[in-house]
Structure 1
Amino acid sequence: MSCFVKAERYLPKDVLCTTWIQSLQHADIGSIILSSLAIKNAEDNGPTKKDPASSDTLFDGEQPSLEEIRSWGKSFDKLMRSPSGRKAFRDFLRCEYSEENILFWLACEELKKETNPEAIEEKARFIYEDYISILSPKEVSLDSRVREIVNRNMVEPTPHTFDEAQLQIYTLMHRDSYPR
């Protein structure tokens, strides 16, 4: 089963899944998000109701405004600043078989919030093993210069151990995945 068909499970019942699938195959991320939310229905009838039998919808919590969703199609930075935007982009990256990029980026954001030295070291090792190690099935694509910087930083991990790597992956997502 393709990821396009699996995407149907995220949509409220009143969304036309064929529109979602067609937009996934022929449009950019902004169009995908817009069509998946049944914007016309939301504008005509108010917000769509969640199917009580399903805990899966495209967005957790409050749905973003139409204006916010449209801004995601114009600005990658706005998409990544929005929790709902990141969720939609993560679902898109899963379809593109590159979800590890946003998972790495999110893990780095969590590390930056940490203040406890032991927790910083533990989280840094987890991030390294999951996304930097060449043995990891979720290894992100880093150039040798950045990989060397990360290896040096791992001697004494800080909340900013992966800043160079995070920036490189952010740029990769912006340049390669976002335009699709």
Structure 2
Amino acid sequence: MNKNEDHMERSERTCTKMDSIEATEEQQPTLDEVVAWARSFELVMRSSEGREIFREFLRSEYSEENLLFWLACEELKKETDPTAIDEKARIIYEDYVSILSPKEVSLDSRVREGINLSLTEPSNMMYEEAQLQIYTLMHRDSYPRFLNSSFYRDLLDSKRSSCLDT
């Protein structure tokens, strides 16, 4: 196969991770991944690249604290050391649950009261219900706007262009 035929064959394929020449130390999402984000909020949240672009979008809407809270809860759930659990649970409370926090997330009073009761004996799962509430809020509220935003559309256009150029 000559160079020209090889180039044409590559152009006809969908971009995959192996085709992603620009992927250096920072893994770049493929076109397939970016397209899939429009079908599933869960895929955005599972992808470090998806979370990062979603975070940039949330920052532009002054609601980045929702994702930061969700990520902090994910970290707490992995923790097994009781001292670290106490510390992380307190930090999450001060940063995202306390009504005095500038990064307070929007939780209903029942969930907030449950957290207040859990503070006496923190566990790595104490924010589970609050985390689900914020995840649902992001999924229903922020995610549709994200898909219509320049953050997502520009990335999608960029991936489509780079695939056509290969």
TM-score range normalised by the length of the shorter chain:
0.7 to 0.9
Residue 164 in structure 1 maps to residue 111 in structure 2: no
Partner amino acid for 2:132? L
Distance 2:95 2:102 in 1: 8
Give the partner amino acid of 1:117: P
Q: How many residues get paired?
A: 129
Distance 2:26 2:77 in 1: 25
SS in 2 for 1:63: coil
Specify every segment of 5 or more residues in structure 2 that has no aligned partner in the other structure, as ranges. 1-14, 146-166
* Aligned 1:42-53 pairs, distance under 5 A: 47-48=21-22
Return the match for 1:147 from 94, 112, 116: 112
C-alpha distance in 2, partners of 1:103/1:49?
A: 26
Encode CA deviations 1:13-56: one digit per residue, 9 max, x unaligned.
xxxxxxxxxxxxxxxxxxxxxxxxxxxxxx6x963488xxxxxx
Q: Give deviations 1:54-106, integer Å, cap 9, x for gaps.
A: xxxxxx71111111111111100111011111111001100011000000000
Match of 1:149, SS? helix
Q: Could you tell me how far 1:154 is from its partner in structure 2?
A: 1.3
Q: Determine helix, strand or coil for the equivalent of 2:28.
A: coil
User: Identity across aligned pairs (percent)?
Assistant: 66
Task: List alignment gaps of at least 5 residues for structure 1.
Answer: 1-42, 51-59
RMSD: 1.8
Which residue matches 1:114? Answer: 79
Partner of 1:27: none
Residue 94 of structure 1: aligned partner? 59
- Larger of the two Rg values belongs to structure: 2
Higher helix proportion: 2
Match of 2:92 in 1: 127
TM-superposition CA deviations, 1:155-179 (whole Å, max 9, x none): 1111101001000000000011000
